[in-house]
A = this chain, B = another copy of it.
Amino acid sequence: MYSQCMSTSETTSDRLIESTRELLWERGYVGTSPKAILERSGAGQGSMYHHFKGKPDLALAAIRRTAEELRATAEGVLGGPGTPYERIEAYLLRERDVLRGCPVGRLTMDPDVIASDELRAPVDETLDAIRELIAKIVEEGKEQGGFAPSLDGEEIAATVLATVQGGYVLARASGSPAAFDAGVRGLLSLLAPR
């Protein structure tokens, strides 16, 4: 009986988190009402407030899960085989749902997320971790001779991440992934070992 109850609870909590993740991606924090979360998850108001203190608490769980997934994906691609250039290339070219935008990056445009240190933390930590990883790969590439010694790992890492995040902006503005792809190809042509 108890384990049955636990299992149902876990499922409801999970469904609430998953629905919140989707809504945050589609409509942002400001555009996501507790009512919309309940409707999408099919959970009752009572069970939402049983599992979470409220929208910020539920959103924090959702943002953390999305951030962890993004980080794991990026680490997987960047930690793959190949030269430093090839690993950055793989990161830039990895399959993305470009027109949906980045589920983590888009949160930075949300005033209520940015105003809350707690909600902003997983966003900041994730982007920072990916940036650090890219910076190390650039430094490796400088040692191996693929990248010019004049390049700064931290700076290039910020450029790589910014090109991806800004690529989403250009793609969504134009309604086509082409602008994202163009930005990535441009960056790769600048980074290419000569």
Contacts of A170 in B (CB 8 A): 127, 131, 158, 161-162, 165
CB nearest to A128 among chain B residues: B174
Decide if B152 touches A186 in the complex (CB within 8 Å): yes
Q: Within 8 Å of chain B (Cβ to Cβ): is A108? A: yes
Among the listed B101, B167, B191, which residue makes an inter-chain contact with A109, where contact means beta carbons less than 8 Å apart?
Answer: B101
Q: Within 8 Å of chain B (Cβ to Cβ): is A172? A: yes
What's the dominant secondary structure at chain A's contact region?
helix
Among the listed B30, B128, B189, B191, which residue makes an inter-chain contact with A28, where contact means beta carbons less than 8 Å apart?
Answer: B30
Q: In the complex, what distance in Å separates the CA atom of A164 from the CA atom of B184?
A: 14
A160-194 CB mask vs B (1 if < 8 Å, else 0) is 11111111111011110001101111110111000
Decide if B183 touches A108 in the complex (CB within 8 Å): no
Contacts of A38 in B (CB 8 A): none
Q: In the complex, what distance in Å separates the CA atom of A152 from the CA atom of B178?
A: 14
A45-73 CB mask vs B (1 if < 8 Å, else 0) is 00000000000000000000000000000
CB nearest to A154 among chain B residues: B182
A residues adjacent to B (C-beta < 8 A):
26-28, 30-31, 101-102, 105-106, 108-111, 114, 120, 123-124, 127-128, 131, 150-152, 154-170, 172-175, 179-180, 182-187, 189-191
